[in-house]
Amino acid sequence: MTYTGPIKGLLLDLDGTLYHGTRMIPGADRLIGQLIEQNIPFRYVTNNSSLTPGAFADRLQGMGIPATAKEVCTSAEAAAAYIAKVKPRANVFVIGESGLRQAAEEAGLTIVEEGADFVVQGIDRELSYDKIAKAVEQLLGGAESILTNPDLLLPSEHGLRPGAGSIGAMIQAASGKVPTVIGKPSTILMNFALNSLGVSASQSWVVGDNLATDIAAGKAAGCGTVLVLTGLTTADNLESYAAKAGCRPDVICADLEALSSYITERNGQ
Ligand SMILES: [Mg+2]
């Protein structure tokens, strides 16, 4: 893909790209202000299924970054929309937090304890052996397996913690069922976000700090890709991460100021 025209839309990663935990990355507020001022539509796109879009918007606003719930696309919403498309009003067994439960309900799915058509699983910090046992029972009984995001580790104030993908590995080992993955690097979340954005893939750019998820997903969806060195990837580990991910970004920006300048240059403003 070589699209040389202006950037018509942006899909922005959150953690490591616009903030670290509760701390805004310098320039994030100005970047979003610029997009609003220049009428460039954007969506915040996160693999994190734990919170609702409204809760993410509140978190962003709390840091001084303009955001509305409509502008946030989570793997939980994309998972619920995917299931509702395959089987409207499906029965689902949920391992997850409020973001995933609310997304399932809003998509018209019925949350059940048994007789599930789908097991949908995300991060669940109140996970128990009983929940795993019930999920495996449903899968062995014929339910389809859906994983919100494959991230094995999750950054937290206490360092790295097991992520949704680690819980998924346990369920997959026990059930023998390979899940359909929704979050980045899957194109399911990207296509959900592009649909919400209303801009074609080739005129949209994915911005993120992770080659294996953000950049790989952007490439797979046919979008332009910008790697920012604000989080996981640094100038020092870039080459080894690119080799591991098997992909390279179209553009690398050291920080969000450099990204703002790139957009200005590209869009001729
Ligand atoms: Mg990130």
Task: Give residue limits of the domains in the chain.
Answer: 9-47+184-267, 76-181
> What are the CA-CA distances from residue 77 to residues 90, 94, 172, 218, 248 (Å)?
15, 13, 22, 19, 28
Q: Does 1 have pLDDT greater than 60?
A: no
The average confidence (pLDDT) of the chain is 96
| 268 CA from centroid of ligand 1 (Å) | 28
- pTM here is 0.95
CATH fold, domain 76-181, is Rossmann fold (3.40.50)
pLDDT in tens, 7-48: 999 999 999 999 998 899 999 999 999 999 999 999 999 999
Closest CA to 126 of 95, 163, 157: 95
| 248 CA from centroid of ligand 1 (Å) | 16
| 213 CA from centroid of ligand 1 (Å) | 8
| 48 CA from centroid of ligand 1 (Å) | 10
pLDDT (0 to 100) of residue 4? 74
pLDDT (0 to 100) of residue 32? 98
| 19 CA from centroid of ligand 1 (Å) | 9
| 210 CA from centroid of ligand 1 (Å) | 6
Neighbouring residues of the ion ligand 1, judged by CB less than 5 Å: 13, 15-16, 209-210
> What are the CA-CA distances from residue 172 to residues 108, 177, 181 (Å)?
26, 5, 12
| 267 CA from centroid of ligand 1 (Å) | 25
pLDDT in tens, 79-133: 999 999 999 999 999 999 999 999 999 999 999 999 999 999 999 999 999 999 9
Active-site amino acid positions: 13, 15
| 3.50.50.60, 3.30.360.10, 3.30.70.1140, 3.40.50.1000: CATH of 9-47+184-267 | 3.40.50.1000
pLDDT (0 to 100) of residue 157? 77
Same CATH fold, 76-181 and 9-47+184-267? yes
Q: With left for phi above 0 and alpha for psi between -120 and 50, is residue 43 left, alpha or beta?
A: beta
Cis-peptide into 150, omega within 30 deg: no
| 173 CA from centroid of ligand 1 (Å) | 27
- The answer to whether the CB of 98 falls within 8 A of the CB of 50 is yes
Q: Does 269 have pLDDT greater than 80?
A: no
